[in-house]
Amino acid sequence: LVLEMAYFEGLSQTEMANRTKQPLGTIKTWVRGALQILRDELGEVVAA
């Protein structure tokens, strides 16, 4: 969800926090987690 908001809607982390009414720290954790999953899933494709 956070990556969709960042990628497809162009929201900053602060804007995501306002949109979801979550603390900025929580959003940052979510983004880090989502990026980690993305790295794990797509990292090999990109590295190749």
Contacts with another protein, residue ranges (CB under 8 A): 3-4, 6-8, 10-14, 16, 31-32, 35, 38-39, 41-43, 45-47
| Closest to another protein by CB, 21 or 45 | 45
| Closest to another protein by CB, 12 or 26 | 12
Contact criterion met (CB below 8 Å) for 15 and 44: no
What's the closest the beta carbon of residue 26 comes to another protein, in angstroms? Answer: 14
Check residue 20 and give left, alpha or beta (phi > 0: left; psi -120 to 50: alpha). alpha
| 21 secondary structure, DSSP code | T
